[in-house]
């Protein structure tokens, strides 16, 4: 796997990181329930698709830093600071990294299908690992706040992540085609530039 952090790629990666930061700041102010929505999954998906899993991981880590500063994250610090940090870094980083791997595997057969599956898989991985972290580190929080629900699982799936997850995955699905078009534009431009250099050097 080639190093994606080249001089040629860094401006694009920096732009994705900047977009991600802006979107996450906006998302920190929006919440359906006790946790904020994650608007920056789309730039993470785009970075993972275009540049590969390591850029997906890098953007996921950047996302984690700003999720840790979200007002809604403070309620989890009260339960477990270490658990909060571990959960946030693993879920965002793994979503970007494994999303990139999924794209590489499926892209060998079909580029559009790989883009669709990757764009959907990243919010699924992110939310799935949040569930694992919540059940591992924040069970006491779930138990104390699930009095209006039948059990902690109903509170977790409906009261905490329900609308957030629907919003996040819907956003990814709606933006699949624009993402696909951006990928095609990047790939075509890259091929044109490579062809131009080869022509001049031969």
* Cα three-residue angle 55-120-158, rounded to 5 degrees: 120
Chain centroid, CA 169 distance in Å: 11
Q: What is the rounded distance in angstroms from the CA atom of residue 96 to the CA atom of residue 101? A: 9
Q: What is the CA radius of gyration of the chain?
A: 19
- pLDDT category of residue 191 using cuts at 50, 70 and 90: low
Name the average pLDDT for the chain.
83
Of these ranges, 88-92, 142-146, 183-187, 191-195, the one predicted with the greatest mean pLDDT is 88-92
* Cα three-residue angle 52-46-1, rounded to 5 degrees: 5
| pTM: predicted TM-score of the whole model, two decimal places | 0.83
The predicted structure's pLDDT at residue 165: 81
Measured from the Cβ of residue 3, the count of other Cβ atoms closer than 10 Å reads 8
For residues 84 and 164, which has the higher predicted lDDT (pLDDT)? 84
> Which of 41-55, 110-124, 145-159 is the least confident region?
145-159
As a whole number of Å, the end-to-end CA separation of the chain is 27
Percent of the chain with pLDDT over 90: 31
> For the segment 21-39, what is each residue's pLDDT rounded down to a tens digit?
888 877 766 665 666 667 7
Q: What is the rounded distance in angstroms from the CA atom of residue 42 to the CA atom of residue 31? A: 18
Residues 6 or more apart in contact with residue 70 via CB below 8 angstroms: 24, 27, 28, 36
Q: What single DSSP character describes residue 176?
A: H
Q: What is the rounded distance in angstroms from the CA atom of residue 156 to the CA atom of residue 54? A: 30
The predicted structure's pLDDT at residue 36: 65
- pLDDT category of residue 132 using cuts at 50, 70 and 90: very high
> For the segment 167-184, what is each residue's pLDDT rounded down to a tens digit?
888 888 787 778 777 777
The predicted structure's pLDDT at residue 25: 79
């Amino acid at each position: 796997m080639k190093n994606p952090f080249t001089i040629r790629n860094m401006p694009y990666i920096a732009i994705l990181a900047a977009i991600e930061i802006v979107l996450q700041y906006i998302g920190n102010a929006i919440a359906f329930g006790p946790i904020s929505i994650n608007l920056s999954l789309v730039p993470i998906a785009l970075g993972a698709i275009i540049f590969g899993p390591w850029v997906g991981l890098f953007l996921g880590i950047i996302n984690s830093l700003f999720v840790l500063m979200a007002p809604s994250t403070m309620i989890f610090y009260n339960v477990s600071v270490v658990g909060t940090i571990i959960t946030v870094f693993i879920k965002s980083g793994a979503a970007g990294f494994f999303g990139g791997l999924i794209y590489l595997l499926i892209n060998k057969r079909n580029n559009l299908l790989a883009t669709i599956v990757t764009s959907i898989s990243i919010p699924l991985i992110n939310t799935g690992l949040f569930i694992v972290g919540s059940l591992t580190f924040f069970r006491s929080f779930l138990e104390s706040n699930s009095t209006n629900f039948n059990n902690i699982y109903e509170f977790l799936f409906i009261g905490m992540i329900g609308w957030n997850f629907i919003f996040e995955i819907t956003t990814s699905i709606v933006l699949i085609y624009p993402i696909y078009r951006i990928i095609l534009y990047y790939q075509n431009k890259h091929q044109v530039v490579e062809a131009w250099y080869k022509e001049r050097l031969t």
